[in-house]
A and B are shown apart, each in its own frame.
Chain A
Amino acid sequence: MKVVFERPSALSDKQTHYCPGCTHGIIHRLVAEAIDELDVREKTIGVASVGCSVLAYEYFNCDMQQAAHGRAPAVATGIKRVHPDKVVFTYQGDGDLASIGMAEIVHAAARGEKITTIFVNNTIYGMTGGQMAPTSLVGQKTTTSPYGRNPEHCGYPIRIAELLSTLQGAVSVARVSVHDVPNIIKAKKAIKKAFEVQLSGAGFSIVEVLSTCPTNWGKPPLEALNWLKENMIPYYPLGEYRTPEEVK
């Protein structure tokens, strides 16, 4: 009898602080599996953001750096330019990347920095207690939009994958979800592909992963996965928005 599934070696055995049913854990594992399969763990440097994933450096078994709020792409740019032979990725949530870090991500993508960004979008600020994020859906109830997000004074949620796919330097842009097992397998392929794009030296790659926040959405984990499927995917369609083939 042989082992057909176990924790990837790029993931440490430390238990995560994430809430029960939080899909951060799944996404961490997918990133680690991609690193393992490409056999690049020894030369990978990750950059953690601010938010629930701030402690990602505890969970990945590779070199990690922790950046100031929203600045992970800027830190990753520095690391990659000094060590062009390393694999550099950032792991950022929507409160980090789409809000305070919007300038950094847009310019890192525009410059075509040869880094990979894993963007975890759960439409809410998780760590600080469930405030409205730039990605919160219209009508979504959060602690700072108790009657639902009103576009009259809060505007509309930002579609990051579509936005970045207009930039020439962003050669690989995809949006995936982890709400069920078939989609988890697709997400893994997309993450692996993003790392391969970086290894090929083509340019900037990003994978937006739709994720849940059961605690701050006020839903049990399974219900949260269904909420993602029914409410987030219609507004944030899944798919590849840019591939290196299109860029050529």
Chain B
Amino acid sequence: MPKVEFDRERCKGCELCISVCPTKIIILDEKINKKGYKVATVHEMDKCIGCATCARICPDTVIKVYK
């Protein structure tokens, strides 16, 4: 089953991944990271199709994709 891993500490909460996810499963976590940003996270991982669209637009190489 495809899945994505977000590196919380690298994320700057720019939300670009949220805007491009075709299945709309990425949300901003209410908990902030050490830098003080609300970070992107996935709430329904079973809906992930492993397309890596989020990872391609991420400016901070936060996302690792498995398929």
Task: Choose among B14, B15, B19, B61 the residue that contacts A7 (Cβ–Cβ < 8 A).
Answer: B61
List of B residues within 8 angstroms of A21 by Cβ: 12, 14-16, 59
Residue pair B66, A3 in contact (C-beta under 8 Å): yes
Cβ contacts under 8 Å, B58 to chain A: 25-26
* B10 A4 Cβ-Cβ under 8 A: no
- A contact residues, total (Cβ < 8 Å): 29
Nearest-CB distance from B60 to chain A (Å)?
5
Residues of A within 8 A of B59 (CB): 16, 18, 21-26, 29
- Provide 27 A-B residue pairs closer than 8 Å at the C-beta atoms, listed in order of the A residue: A1-B2, A1-B3, A1-B66, A1-B67, A3-B64, A3-B65, A4-B50, A4-B52, A4-B65, A5-B52, A5-B56, A5-B65, A6-B61, A16-B59, A20-B12, A20-B13, A21-B12, A21-B16, A22-B59, A25-B60, A26-B59, A180-B57, A184-B56, A221-B15, A222-B15, A222-B19, A225-B16
B6 within 8 A of A: no
CB 8 Å contact bits of B1-38 with A (1 = contact, 0 = none): 11100000110111110011000000000000000010
Q: How many cross-chain pairs have Cβ atoms below 8 Å apart between A and B?
A: 75
Given A4-B52, A15-B60, A25-B59, answer yes or no on A221-B65 (Cβ-Cβ < 8 Å). Answer: no
Contact present for B16 and A4 (CB under 8 Å): no
Chain B residues whose C-beta falls within 8 Å of the C-beta of A163 in the assembled complex = none
Interface flag for A248 (CB, 8 Å): no
